[in-house]
């Protein structure tokens, strides 16, 4: 099972593609988090870091559980 942003698999091992694609994916993720933070409560703003924590926390747990299954723990 592949994760949502499995950039390494998408780009294979070509670092000429992997590094720029990772930068673009990260920038897109930050812009999306900022846009969501501005649209949730229109007169106020929720910081992009808060949105990233809400997205990144469960994703980190998912990756940790996935690595445990792969390594047999």
The three-class DSSP label of residue 45 is coil
Could you tell me the pTM of the whole model?
Answer: 0.65
The reply to whether 1 falls in a domain is no
If one counts the domains in the chain, the total is 1
pLDDT at 71 over 80: no
The reply to whether 55 falls in a domain is yes
Range(s) of the domain holding residue 21 = 7-71
Inter-residue contact 2 to 9 (CB < 8 Å):
yes
pLDDT at 1 over 50: no
Of these ranges, 1-10, 14-23, 63-72, the one predicted with the greatest mean pLDDT is 14-23
The reply to whether 11 falls in a domain is yes
The reply to whether 39 falls in a domain is yes
pLDDT in tens, 16-66: 777 888 899 999 999 999 999 999 988 999 999 999 999 899 989 998 888
């Amino acid at each position: 099972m592949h994760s949502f942003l499995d950039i390494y698999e998408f780009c294979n091992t070509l670092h000429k593609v992997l590094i720029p694609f990772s930068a673009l994916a990260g920038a897109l993720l930050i812009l999306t988090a900022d846009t969501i933070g501005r649209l949730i409560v229109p007169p106020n703003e929720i910081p992009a870091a808060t949105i990233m924590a809400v997205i990144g926390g469960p994703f980190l747990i998912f990756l940790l559980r996935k690595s445990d299954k792969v390594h047999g723990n």
